[in-house]
Structures are given as structure tokens and as C-alpha cells.
Structure 1
Amino acid sequence: MKQPSFSDLLRSPTMLLAFGFGSGLAPRAPGTFGTLAAIPVWLLLQPLAPAVYLAVVVAAALLGFYLCEAASEKLGVHDHSGIVWDEMVGYWLTMFMAPSGWIWALYGFALFRLFDIAKPQLIGWADRRVHGGVGIMLDDILAAVYAAVVLQLTALFIG
């Protein structure tokens, strides 16, 4: 199937969310644009109590299993590059309990993209072996865990 247009996304709430409100339509590096689109949402999530923040991110991840699966089936392509809900959830998970400020937002962005693109160890295994909506989400969740650990250790040693 051809790349959907923004008007196609507007007709389908599932596709609109899966494509990160249109950020996944970027002609180059849609995962990076999807992660960038997650930053304003993080700014809204950041003031929440940790338990509420985590509940929202878990709900977004569970929704992502459905969204990514449904979008993949509709497009006929497993893990179409325009599906970026997984990157958005990954960024929000990376930034769980992160210090506030633009430096930390950008640092978390860079760490998450690094681990998502490089796919070391378990991340790469999950990307190759687990399929469907769970597989699409899982490698980004794992990349977020790696990135969050590095971010939190940096915050611990710097602050």
C-alpha cells in the first residue's frame, strides 16, 4: 500500500494516533519526528505524580499494542516506518521521573533515539523475533528502559 496522506489519517483515529498525529508522515527519519512530537506531550505529563504519569504511559503502551497492530494490518506492512506511536511511548517512558528542563528533554531524546536506532542486545533480538503490535512496541519499550537507566544514572552523578 502507498504511504497514507494526512487526510487519510484524519479519517481514521487509529491511523492518526499510530502515525503520531501526522509526524510519522515525515519523508525522512519519521521515527525521529515521532519522538520530537512526543516532547510537548511529555511537557504536559511531567507535572503529574509519578504513579499517575506511569499509569498514563502504561495505558499508552497498551493502546499502542492495538494501534500498531491495526495500522500494520491496514497498511499490509509489518512495522511501517510511519508508525511512530511506539517512539512516542518510548520517549515518555525514557523521561519517567527525569529532571525538568530542556537539557534533560534533549538528552532523553538523544539517548532514546540512540538505543532505538542501534538496537543493542535484547532490543535487537526483540525487534527481529517478536512480531505484531507487541513486537512493534517492545523494541521501543526496551530502548526506553536502556535510555532511562542512562539518563537516571547521569542525573544521579551530575546532580
Structure 2
Amino acid sequence: MRVNAKAILSNPIHCLAFGFGSGLAPKAPGTFGTLMAVPLYLLLMQLPLLGYVLLLLASFIVGVYLCGKTADDLGVHDHPGIVWDEFVGFWITMLAAPAGWLWIVIGFILFRLFDIWKPWPIKVLDEKMETGLGIMLDDVLAGVYAFICLQGLVYLQVVMAA
């Protein structure tokens, strides 16, 4: 499912959907997309919690359009290079996470595990919903699962430190 990189990068909608080009990686584009989400997260984490949540919500809404339009234009539902959904899923994982690289790495690993593993109902959403919303929802849910696990680890760290 090769795409014309120049055409992707020259179209603002496709460029965003392809994670500023990170989704053009020949292997593991979802992982590269999530890696590209990290520096943006470093900016987002400076926001107050309400601002972070509002930007997350806006990124989801915009992502439904970006991913759906790009998938339609390419004629491929959920092309592997479409990674905006990975951005949003990772940012959900990192919602209210403690500062520090350790937590970023743990969040990254947890999100990638859930995104790749696709436990129920993520797999169902991924297979059954063929719209921009479907492209976004499986990664949103993977982000929610990873968020719950990350917050559980934060809680355990606090309890063990007490």
C-alpha cells in the first residue's frame, strides 16, 4: 500500500493524517507516528488540565475528518500510514500523567501494546467501523486502556512510597 510521499506531504489534510510524514515509515508506521506524538505531548503537557482535555477533544474531532478524508482519497480504509489516531491515543494515555521521561516511556509502551494487541472491543471497532470515526475509535480505546494502566502504576508508586 505504497503512497506518493510528495502528494501526502503537499496536502495539509493528508500531511496531518500521516502525522507530519511519520506515517510514511516503511515499517511500523504506527510506532513512528506515536514517536512523533511525543514531542507534541511535551508541549501539550504544559497546558492546564482543562486546556489539555479541550485540545484532546478538538484533536479527536478534527481527526475523525482528517482520517476519514485521507482514507477516502486513498481508497484504503485505515491505511497503515494514517497515524493521527495514534497521536490522539497516546495523548489520551498521557492525560494527567506525572512529569518525567520514565512515565512517557511507560505510556508509550502501554499505548503501543494495546494498539497492537487490540483486546475486546478494540478489535471489533477496528474491523467493523469503516469511517473516520472508526479509524479514530480503536486508538482512542487503546489510549483509554493504556491510561487506566498508567494511572494504576502511578497509584501503586504512590502507595508503595507511603
Bin for the TM-score computed over the shorter chain: over 0.9
CA distance in 1, matches of 2:19, 2:4: 13
CA distance in 2, matches of 1:129, 1:9: 26
Residue 106 of structure 1 pairs with residue 137 of structure 2: no
Aligned length: 158
Structure 2 residue ranges without an equivalent (≥5)? none
Give how far 1:2 is off: 4.1
CA distance in 1, matches of 2:128, 2:75: 19
Letter in 1 for 2:63: G
Partner of 1:116: 115
Query: Mean alpha-carbon deviation: is it higher for 103-112 or for 120-129?
Result: 120-129
1:28-75 Cα shifts (integer Å, max 9, x gaps): 000000000000000001021111001001100000000000000111
Partner of 1:130: 129
Give how far 1:8 is off: 1.5
1:46-65 to structure 2, matched below 5 A, reads 46-65=45-64
Partner of 1:85: 84
Letter in 2 for 1:93: I
1:1-47 Cα shifts (integer Å, max 9, x gaps): 74121x22232100000000000000000000000000000000102
Structure 1 residue ranges without an equivalent (≥5)? none
CA distance in 1, matches of 2:10, 2:157: 47
Secondary structure, counterpart of 1:121 in structure 2: coil
Give how far 1:130 is off: 1.5
CA distance in 2, matches of 1:135, 1:112: 18
Q: TM-score, normalised by structure 2?
A: 0.95
CA distance in 2, matches of 1:32, 1:10: 19
- Runs of 4+ more than 3 Å apart: none
- RMSD between aligned residues: 0.9
1:88-130 Cα shifts (integer Å, max 9, x gaps): 1100111000011111001000000000000001111111111
